[in-house]
Amino acid sequence: MRRHRNVKIVATLGPASSTKEMIRALFDTGADVFRLNMSHGSHDDHRARYTAIREIEAETGRPIAILADLQGPKLRVGPFANGAHDLAVGDRFRFDLAPEPGNASRVQLPHPEIFAALIEGSELLVNDGKIRLTVDACGPDFADCTVTVGGTISDRKGVNVPDVVLPLAALSDKDRADLEFACELGVDWLALSFVQRAEDVEEAKTLARGRAAILSKIEKPAAVRAFDEILKASDGIMVARGDLGVELPVHSVPPIQKRLVRLCRSAAKPVIVATQMLESMIDSPMPTRAEVSDVANAIYEGADAVMLSAESAAGSFPLDAVRTMDNVARSVEADPNYRSIIEAARKASLSSVPDAIVTAAREIAETTEIAAICAFSQSGTTISLIARERPRVPILALSPIEAVTRRMVLTWGTHCVITPRLSRFKEAVVNATRAARDYGFADETRQIVVMAGVPFNVAGTTNILRIAPCDDRLIFATDPE
């Protein structure tokens, strides 16, 4: 099976998409990566979905990436004696640590870390920013506030603190248990919520011990400010626009998204654009035109992947949502303006031999009749460097390591293939040409670019580039020299 687009589609699994039959239908329709949202469902639920995905992978012969999304610490107010109260602009309201049920003038906020970080003038947002309060006075166990945007405050509503770095770890006790479960299960990517600093990422990587790649969710202003350091520490990035749009002025999110996507591409690390991409399709088989433009803009910007959340996890039309994303991606990538925009954002990076080789491969592919760039990789680094170039021809990512091929599924433009372990470059050429023909990227009249490293089976040794014909003599070679 071959995708006729470069951008990848991430589909979240949930009550609407838990059966193997539905997961297979999502895959056939266009989903490349499946997201397990650890905020919902039990470990048994996620294990069953994981098993179904791996069975589908075996049946189709195509690697599938699985992303486990950790919940992160959730900041919430306590309960109210009457369930809810209305707050009007100008009202005084207190948050404190007292366990008694809340009333019209106060409620418990059981997070002393928040009080430790607040200062006069800090802003507290409740219920996704629908209610806003400014801190007038605060101490280690209270914050007296004035309501600046009113609304109904009720039991267990979430709290955001946008303008301070909270002394909270990105990993709660639940997250640590979920991380270990997901790694033991065998997921390929871990999405880390509530990232504020690079140290949060390093902690997750230490716990993962290389069993899964770490993808940092950028959903807090502190993460935007520290993005350069977070990007260096991370294996990939998710631009999680939902919380960003709560904690930052909503009009600031589009330029932030554009900047982060470009920085990720420059660093050769995959980036997902996520949250509310086709929100109306939770209840409707048709998206709004604004939603279609939103998905298209993320693709024009050069994102590696676009993501469906509730649309595929709990919506009434999960297959229609995936099909819509697939159609939008194909339409955008067929637009001549897409190529000019993508190539205008390309930056020269010739700091190493692999950098120079992938640049040469892309230039050769674009100036001659090359059908595909085929690269062998032990770690996936070379594949990421090729994808950074955004070549006009498909990328065949070949590796003998199953985990590497699965992780590379998230990367722009890649068609991932598991190969035998090789010992000579001629074997690499034979396997590359076979893969190019088997998967429909070339016929016997075409040529491909083959990239590999000698010595074989050593990461970071990419040092050979060859133009190879896909003729039968090479394809059916039995004793490659």
Positions marked active-site: 35, 76, 217, 275
**Amino acid type, 26:** L
Q: What six digits make up the tokens of 234? A: 């991370």
Q: Strand (E) positions, 150-193? A: 151-154, 159-160, 189-192
Closest CA to 158 of 219, 112, 109, 104: 109
Supply φ then ψ for residue 95, to 5 degrees. Answer: -105, 135
How many whole angstroms separate alpha carbon 397 and alpha carbon 394? Answer: 10
Closest CA to 171 of 199, 196, 192: 192
First-to-last alpha carbon distance for the chain, in angstroms, is 31
Residue 33, CA atoms < 13 Å, CB-side half-sphere: 36
Q: Is the dihedral of CA 244, 224, 307, 302 positive or negative?
A: positive
How many whole angstroms separate alpha carbon 292 and alpha carbon 286? Answer: 10
Closest CA to 260 of 219, 222, 216, 227: 227
Burial of 426 by CB count in 10 Å (0-12 exposed, 13-18 middle, 19+ buried)? middle
Helices 43-60, 173-185: crossing angle, 10 deg rounding:
30
Q: What six digits make up the tokens of 417? A: 């293939």
CA 184 from centroid of its chain's CA atoms: 20
How many whole angstroms separate alpha carbon 291 and alpha carbon 119? Answer: 38
Q: What six digits make up the tokens of 273? A: 């654009």
Helices 289-301, 253-266: crossing angle, 10 deg rounding:
30
Q: Is the peptide bond before 391 cis (omega within 30 degrees of 0)?
A: no
CA 396 from centroid of its chain's CA atoms: 21
Instruction: Look up tokens 């919520």; give the residue.
Output: 193
H/E stretch holding 120: none
How is 18-75 classified by DSSP, letter by letter?
Answer: -SHHHHHHHHHHT--EEEEETTSS-HHHHHHHHHHHHHHHHHHT---EEEEE------
Supply φ then ψ for residue 287, to 5 degrees. Answer: -80, 165
DSSP, collapsed to helix, strand or coil, labels residue 362 as helix
